[in-house]
Structures are given as structure tokens and as C-alpha cells.
Amino acid sequence: MSQERSFVELTARDIAQGVNEGRWTAEAVIRAFLERCDEIDDRVQAWAAMDPDLAIEQARAVDRAIDRGGSDKPLAGVPFGVKDIFETADYATEYGSPIYRGHRPRADAACVALARSAGAVILGKTRTTEFAANNPTVTRNPRDLGRTPGGSSSGSAAAVAASMAPVAMGTQTAGSVIRPASYCGVVAYKPTFGYTLRAGFKPSAGSLDTVGYFARNVGDVAEFSSLSDGRQPFQEPDDPETPPRFALCRTAEWSAAESGTIEPLLEFVEALREAGANVADISFPVGFDGLADAQWTIMAYETARSLTWERLTHPDLCSEQLRAIFELGESLSDRDYGAARILANHSRSSLNEMLRRAGVHVLLAPAAPGEAPEGLESTGDPILNRVWTLLHMPCMTLPLLAGPAGRPLGVQLIGRIGRDWRVVHAAKWIEARFPYRATLDDAVA
């Protein structure tokens, strides 16, 4: 195996360790990933913009800093993709819209700047749906080029799945991180709402928008997210062998999951029990039945207002799908919006208390209704993500299952608000005992 090939198979943490220890250079790593992108992105089309010379220049700057004897950089030489909804000083930021073609911000988004300060190297901007809504991109799913990668973080999920980058940034307002990760067979993490730095990205629904992260393993996504959000690293549990307490959660949207998703999920639950975990069954109270509709109401209402300038001055450059969201958002009354916010606030506190009393650490649920849909006309249905995003709960998906066609299915882990560390610990416990179904060899060669 060539050194270039081995670099793209390394974890982000291994890459950084090797650069910091002088076993290889950041430049060598970046050149290997650029070669990988050059080999396959004409088929996957994950990148909206890429500047190889700029990436190599960034890598050389990391190498010079380390050669001068500076302190180790925890992400030294790690290439990452930046969803083109985040502002970047070195690249155009177009938000997936022709309205902003060639737009050049003067600064990086906060999370991007923090990742770079830790030694990470921007490999390029990844494709996003228009303003992170539901108008599909040209990006293809690396596990099956005839299927969607999901959205709105289409390019970020696809780039990581195809090993064109070990980590990438996305955003979630409904299901735009968890669902694409499930379709593409990678790990993804959406933190508790408010835990992520949103300065410098284009908002659509301010009470829902959350920065999310993609990787091929739990350790990488945990470290990359912590450093990019300016938070302390997740601490290891006192006893990593003690199984978390899980509960399989059937929400009102459970029927949206296909039989080819439910059957392997239930089999996985039994495997968890055999591995020593306690897995209870839990259902939402009747009063929670309207949460998915409430999320849609809030998202449409806020999006129509957040994108007022675009809506009023460039309606001809907005897609039909986006104009439909605007129309719905404008038709909703303040009373509709207020009622949805009240239901969400009440449900957050009620569910947190219910889980605390039940002693449940992490909920289990499908990450998407099924395998990635065929064709590129849709990014799939976020119905199994809407509720968790509305409730501001931390979520992670692991590529543990396969559907009827052999394509990836994610298991979604959901934690109590502010208990992100519980989700990370549970994900690591599972990862250590159950091999992932999606591997590098499954992606486009």
C-alpha cells in the first residue's frame, strides 16, 4: 500500500499525531487527499470549490509552525471540508445560491477559524443545498452513485464517505446532518442546540440551526467538534466497560420508517442486550404528537423572515422549492408560530424530566426512513430527525446497519439536553463492540 493511500485511511487523530511527531508532514497529507479528490470527485461532485495551491500553502504554514518548536496543534495537518453555508476568507461563499455567486467574505466563520487555529487545513468548500433548504445539489452518494447523499449537508457527508476528507462541517435545521450521514454510511454528530458557534454562517431558522460534524469514527467527530466549538474535549468515562442505559424510542413518526429499517434496528437492539446493555422501550406521551409539525412551522416561519432580502429582491433566482417555503412561512400567523414555540418549550422540559426519572442515558431511533432514495431529484425525508432538532437534543448517527439493497442505514443516538458527553460515551461503547457496515472499500474506488 502506498503512503498516499494510507494517509486517506488514517483517522484525523492519527494524522495530527504523525505531523506533530515529525513522522510525516502536513503537506504530504494534504497532497494525498488532493490526489484522492482528483481521482473521484468528478463522479461524486462533493466539492463546490477547491484550491489545491491554497491547501498546500496552508499545510506548509502548519509544518513551519511545528518546525519552529511551537506547541503541538491537536488537528495538525488534518484536511477538512467546509459546507458552503459557512463564511471563509480564502474561498467564495455562495450558500448554494446563484444570488451569491462569487461572494467573498472578509473573515472565516468562528468554527472554521478555530479549526484552522488548531492546525486543520481547509481542503475546500463542500456543496450545500440552496440556503441549506431542500433543493437538491448535483452531489452523488459515494456508496451508490445513482442515489442521493441526502441534504442539506450533501457535499460534507459525501466527501467523508468517499475518504476525500477525514472530517467535515455541516449544519442541521431539520435533518441535514444526521440523515446524509445515514445515507452515506458515516458518523455524524449534532450537538445540543446552542453548544455550537454560529457566528459566520447563513442562518435560516435561528431557533433550530445547529452546526454539525462528520467523520468516519466517534473519536474524530468528538475531537473535531470540541476544537471547532471552543469547548473542552470530552472526558473519557470512569469505567468505559460499563454499558450505558438505552431506550428504544417510538415517536409518533415511527411509522415513517420502512420495514427494511425497522427489522435490522430491532435485531441490533437485541444484539445490544446480548452484549450486556439494558435497553428499555419508551414511547412519547400523546401531547408530543404535534412536534414534527411544530418544527416545520417554526422552520418555514423563520426561514421566510431570515431570507427576506433574498426573497424580496431576487425571487427569480430562488428555486421553486425555496419559494414554496417562503409562501408557507408568510402564510403562517404569529399565533401559529407562538403555539409551535410553546409546544416545543414544554416538550423539552417534560422529556428531559421523563428521561431523568427513567434513568435513561441515550435514546435509540432510526436515523432515516430507509436507505438513500434512488435518483437525485430529492434529498430524502427528514421526518425522523425533525422532532429531535426541535427539542434541541444532541444526536449522533452510527453506520451500523444495512438495508435490503445493502446500502447503509444509521442508528440514531439521542441524549438529554446538555448531556452530549453521554451520547459520545454511548457511541464509543457501541463502536468498540459492533463493526461498522460501511467501509472505505464500499465507497467509489
Q: Is residue 309, in this structure, part of any structural domain at all?
A: no
The continuous run of DSSP H or E covering 222 comes out as helix 218-228
Res 440 pLDDT > 80: no
CA distance 76 to 81: 15
Q: What is the mean pLDDT of residues 370-378?
A: 97
Q: Is residue 311, in this structure, part of any structural domain at all?
A: no
Residue with cell 475518504: 163
Q: What is the mean pLDDT of residues 58-87?
A: 92
260 and 152 belong to one structural domain: no
182 and 284 belong to one structural domain: no
Q: Is residue 328, in this structure, part of any structural domain at all?
A: no
pLDDT of res. 293: 97
187 and 273 belong to one structural domain: no
215 and 354 belong to one structural domain: no
Instruction: Report the number of distinct structural domains present in the chain.
Output: 2
Q: Is residue 383, in this structure, part of any structural domain at all?
A: yes
Mean pLDDT of the chain: 95
The pTM of this model reads: 0.97
Of 228, 254, 282, the last residue of a domain is 228
Q: Are 119 and 74 in contact (CB under 8 A)?
A: yes
Res 299 pLDDT > 70: yes
CA terminus-to-terminus distance, the chain: 15
253 and 211 belong to one structural domain: no
DSSP state of 187: E
Residue of 153, 163, 176, 225 with catalytic role? 176
> How do residues 88-107 score in pLDDT, each as one tens digit?
999 999 999 999 999 999 99
Name the grid cell of 443. Answer: 465507497
Q: Is residue 131, in this structure, part of any structural domain at all?
A: yes
Res 31 pLDDT > 50: yes
Name the grid cell of 175. Answer: 435533518
156 and 213 belong to one structural domain: yes
Active site residue 349: no
> How do residues 244-294 score in pLDDT, each as one tens digit?
999 999 999 999 999 999 999 999 999 999 999 999 999 888 788 899 999
Of 195, 228, 261, the last residue of a domain is 228
Q: What is the mean pLDDT of residues 319-347?
A: 97
pLDDT of res. 70: 64
Q: Are 444 and 162 in contact (CB under 8 A)?
A: yes
> How do residues 115-153 score in pLDDT, each as one tens digit?
999 999 999 999 999 999 999 999 999 999 999 999 999
264 and 409 belong to one structural domain: yes
Res 397 pLDDT > 80: yes
pLDDT band, very low/low/confident/very high, at 444 (cuts 50, 70, 90): confident
32 and 180 belong to one structural domain: yes
Residue with cell 412551522: 297
pLDDT band, very low/low/confident/very high, at 196 (cuts 50, 70, 90): very high
60 and 179 belong to one structural domain: yes
359 and 403 belong to one structural domain: yes
3-state class (DSSP) for residue 1 = coil
56 and 162 belong to one structural domain: yes
Active site residue 73: no
Residue of 73, 83, 190, 428 with catalytic role? 83
Beta strand pairing status for 79-83 and 167-172?
parallel
CA distance 221 to 229: 12
Q: Are 348 and 417 in contact (CB under 8 A)?
A: yes
- The one-letter amino acid at 279: V
> 17: domain CATH number?
3.90.1300.10
Q: Is the peptide bond before 152 cis (omega within 30 degrees of 0)?
A: yes
pLDDT band, very low/low/confident/very high, at 3 (cuts 50, 70, 90): low
Residue of 97, 125, 152, 182 with catalytic role? 152
Q: Are 202 and 109 in contact (CB under 8 A)?
A: no
Percentage with pLDDT > 90 across the chain: 92
Please state the φ and ψ torsions of residue 146, each to the nearest 5 degrees: -90, 5
Active site residue 428: no
Give residue 436's domain range. Answer: 246-291+335-442
Beta strand pairing status for 167-172 and 47-49?
unpaired
224 and 254 belong to one structural domain: no
Res 30 pLDDT > 90: yes
Percentage with pLDDT > 70 across the chain: 98
Q: Is residue 306, in this structure, part of any structural domain at all?
A: no
Q: Is residue 241, in this structure, part of any structural domain at all?
A: no
Q: Is residue 315, in this structure, part of any structural domain at all?
A: no
Res 7 pLDDT > 50: yes
Which of 232-236, 400-404, 436-440 is most confident? 400-404
Of 178, 200, 228, the last residue of a domain is 228
pLDDT of res. 286: 79
CA distance 340 to 337: 5
Beta strand pairing status for 187-190 and 395-402?
antiparallel
